[in-house]
Amino acid sequence: PTDVLLTTQGVTNVLVYEDGKVHKTPVTVTRRGSEGVMVQESLGGKTLLLAKPDILLRATTGAPVKILSHSNV
């Protein structure tokens, strides 16, 4: 889904949740569609944050994150 992408200053990232912390990971979008995006990087097995951009931005500033559900998409 496109709600995993956060683009700031021309760089597109996904937010990966690991060991109780959030890490920005740069990605290269290779395709976009109505239901999601395809990126060049392998993200299999990673827990990605899915939220609107304002929430993703707050997560990058150290705001606490609680995983509400875990989905294998």
Asked if the structure places residue 12 within a domain, the reply is yes
Range of the domain at 10: 2-60
What is the value of pTM for the model shown? 0.82
Instruction: Take residue 42 and report the two structure tokens written for it.
Output: 């392998």
For residue 68, being part of any structural domain is answered with: no
Integer Cα distance of 64 and 46 in angstroms? 19
Assigned domain for 70 exists: no
Residue-wise pLDDT tens digits, 35-65 = 899 999 999 999 999 999 998 998 988 777 8
Number of domains in the chain: 1
Instruction: Tell which residue, 67, 71, 16, has the closest CA to residue 42.
Output: 16
Q: Cβ neighbours of residue 55 under 8 Å, at least 6 residues apart?
A: none
Backbone angles phi, psi at 65, to 5 degrees: -125, 135
Q: Is residue 19 one of the residues assigned to a domain?
A: yes
Domain annotation covers residue 71: no
The average confidence (pLDDT) of the chain is 89
- Report yes or no on 34 lying in a domain: yes
Q: Is residue 66 part of a domain?
A: no
In a domain, 41, yes or no: yes
